[in-house]
Structure 1
Amino acid sequence: MRLQLLSDLHLETEAFEPAPAPGAELLVLAGDIDTSWCAFERFADWPVPVVLVAGNHEFDRREWNEAWPALRALCERAGITLLEREDMVLTGADGRRIRILGTTRWSDFDLFGEAQRERAMRAARYYVDVMRATRNGAPLDAAAVREEALACRAWLAGELSRPRGDWDATLVITHFAPSLRSADPRYGAQPGTASFCNADDDLLPAAEVWVHGHLHCRHDYVVTHERGQTRVISNARGHARKGEAEGFMPLRCFEV
C-alpha cells in the first residue's frame, strides 16, 4: 500500500495547501494539522481514505473531555477516520491487507529512564504551557500527559502482542516519536527531548512500518531486530519561518 504522510502542517498560521499525491492509496495525517481545526475541511473530498491521529496541538486551549467528541464529530462530517487507541484493516491495490494501529501516544517522559523522569517532566512545562489545555477543568500538566501516555502505551503494547490475524503487515501511526533515533538533530538528547520521543524501541519489532510526527524534521530509517526490520518514517513540515519546511516533500509516497 502506498501512503501519503503529512504532519505538523500548523495550518492555523502556515500558508500551505495540501494536495493529493499521485499514486497514493491512503493519506495519513499524523497530528498537529491545525490548532483551529478549520483546515480539516480541506480533506473532505480527498480522493483516497484519510486517517488522522491527533497531535498535542489539536487540544490547544481546549477542555480534553469536550475536545475528543467534538474532533471525532468534525472528522466524521469530513469523511476522515480518527484513530485513538483504535485499529482498522485496509486492503491495498496489490491485495495485501494492512492492519493500522493509531494513537497519539503522548510523552511518558521515560525516554532516558525512570531516574531522569522528573527532570524530563520539568522540561515539559514549556510545551504544556503553550497548549494551555485542561482536563476535568484542571491544567493538562506533565503528570496528566504522562497518565494518558501510559494508557496509550498499554493499548499499543497489547495490540502489537496479538498473534498475526488476517493481515499481511502492521502500520503504526503515532504523533509522538517511538525512539530517540527520531530526535531533532538541532537539539539532540536533552531533557526536553523526552517531550517529543518515547522509548518504544521494544515495540518496533511487532510493526513493519511506524510513522509519526511531532518533531519538525524528516526521518526515514530502518531498525533491524531479531524479527527482521521496521521502517520508521516522519514527514513533518514544521514552521517555514524557522526554515523547518525546507526539504519537506508533501507529495512523496511511502510503501507499506
Structure 2
Amino acid sequence: MKLQLLSDLHLESEAFDPEPAAGAELLVLAGDIDNRWAALERFAGWPVPVLVVAGNHEFDDRELMDAWPRLHARCASLGLRLLERASAVLSDSQGRRIRFLGTVRWCDFDLFGPAGRKKAMRAGAYFQKVMRATLGGQPFDAAAVREEALACREWLAGALAQPGDEPCDATVVITHFAPSLRSTDPRYGAQSGTASFCNADDHLLPGVDLWLHGHLHCRHDYQVAHPDGRVTRVVSQARGLQAKGEPDGFQPLKLIEV
C-alpha cells in the first residue's frame, strides 16, 4: 500500500493547500492539523480514504472528555476516520490486508528513564500551559498527560500483542508523539524538553512494519533492525511553521510504501 502522510500543518495560522499525492491509496493525518478543527473540511471528499490521529493542539483550550466525542463526530461527518486507541484493517490494490493502530500516544516523560522523569515533567509543564486544556475539569498538566500516555501505551502494547481476528500482511502504527529518541529534532538534541516530543517505545517497534508520527517539526525516515531480521521503518512528514523555516525540505506529495 502506498500512503501519503501529513502532520503539523497548523492551518489555524499557516497558509498551505494540501493536495492528493498521485498514486496514494490512503492519506494519514498524524495530528496538529488545525486547532480550530475547521480545516479538516479540506479533506472531505478526498479521493482515497483518510485516517486521522489527533495531535496535542487539537485539544487547545478544550476539555478532553468533551472534545473526544466531538472530534469523532466532526471527522465522521466529513468522511474521515479518527483512530484513538483503535484499529482499522484496510486492503490495498494488491489485496494485501494492512492493519493500522492509532493513538495520540501522549508523552509519558520516561524518555530518559525514571531518573530523568521529574526533570522532564518540569520541562513539559510549559507545553501544557500553552495548550490550556483540561481533563475532568482539572488542568491537563504534566501529571495528567503522563496518565493518559500510560493508558495509550498499555493499549498499544496490548494491540500489538494480539494478531487480530484475521491475519494481516503488515502492521502500521500511527501516533502523534514519536516512538524513539532517534526522532529527536536535530536543532535541539537530547534535552529534558525532548521528552515532551518523543517516547521510549523502542521495545514496541518489533512486529511493526511502519510507524508514522508527527509532533516534531522536522522530517524523519529511518529503519530500525531487529534481532529476528525484521525491520521497522519510522517516518515523520511534519510541515511546521513557515516563520521558523520549518517547511524547508517538506515533501507533501511523498509516497510511503508498506
Identify whether the pair has TM-score above 0.5, normalized to the shorter chain. Answer: yes
Q: Per-residue displacement from partner, 1:163-187 (whole Å, max 9, x unpaired)? A: 3642100000000000000000000
Shift of 1:140: 0.2
Q: Distance in 2 between matches of 1:48 and 1:208?
A: 21
Match of 1:194 in 2: 195
Q: Distance in 2 between matches of 1:241 and 1:248?
A: 14
The DSSP-based 3-state class of the residue aligned with 2:256 is strand
Name the aligned partner's letter for residue 37 of structure 2. Answer: W
Q: Per-residue displacement from partner, 1:142-201 (whole Å, max 9, x unpaired)? A: 000000000000000001112364210000000000000000000000000000000000
Shift of 1:124: 0.2
**RMSD between superposed Cα atoms in Å:** 0.7
Match of 2:3 in 1: 3
Match of 1:143 in 2: 143
TM-score with structure 2 length normalisation? 0.98
Aligned pairs, number: 256
Shift of 1:49: 0.2
Q: Matches of residues 91-170 of structure 1 in structure 2 within 5 Å?
A: 91-163=91-163, 165-170=166-171
Q: Distance in 1 between matches of 2:163 and 2:62?
A: 38
The DSSP-based 3-state class of the residue aligned with 2:206 is helix
Runs (5+) with no aligned partner, structure 1: none
Q: Distance in 2 between matches of 1:163 and 1:78?
A: 30
Runs (5+) with no aligned partner, structure 2: none
Q: Distance in 2 between matches of 1:65 and 1:161?
A: 28
Match of 1:247 in 2: 249
Match of 1:88 in 2: 88
Q: Matches of residues 32-43 of structure 1 in structure 2 within 5 Å?
A: 32-43=32-43
Match of 1:174 in 2: 175
The DSSP-based 3-state class of the residue aligned with 1:237 is coil
Tell which deviates more after alignment, 189-198 or 222-231. 222-231
TM-score with structure 1 length normalisation? 0.99
Match of 1:223 in 2: 224
Name the aligned partner's letter for residue 94 of structure 1. Answer: Q
The DSSP-based 3-state class of the residue aligned with 2:205 is helix
Q: Distance in 1 between matches of 2:163 and 2:37?
A: 37
Shift of 1:226: 1.7
The DSSP-based 3-state class of the residue aligned with 2:28 is strand
Shift of 1:45: 0.7
Name the aligned partner's letter for residue 170 of structure 1. Answer: T
Name the aligned partner's letter for residue 100 of structure 1. Answer: F
The DSSP-based 3-state class of the residue aligned with 1:187 is coil
Q: Per-residue displacement from partner, 1:232-253 (whole Å, max 9, x unpaired)? A: 0000000011000001000111
* Runs of 4 or more above 6 Å deviation: none
Q: Per-residue displacement from partner, 1:126-148 (whole Å, max 9, x unpaired)? A: 11011000111111000000000
Q: Distance in 2 between matches of 1:105 and 1:43?
A: 23
Q: Percent identity?
A: 68
Q: Per-residue displacement from partner, 1:97-134 (whole Å, max 9, x unpaired)? A: 10000000000000000011000000001110110001
Q: Distance in 2 between matches of 1:234 and 1:133?
A: 25
Q: Distance in 2 between matches of 1:170 and 1:163?
A: 10
Shift of 1:3: 0.3
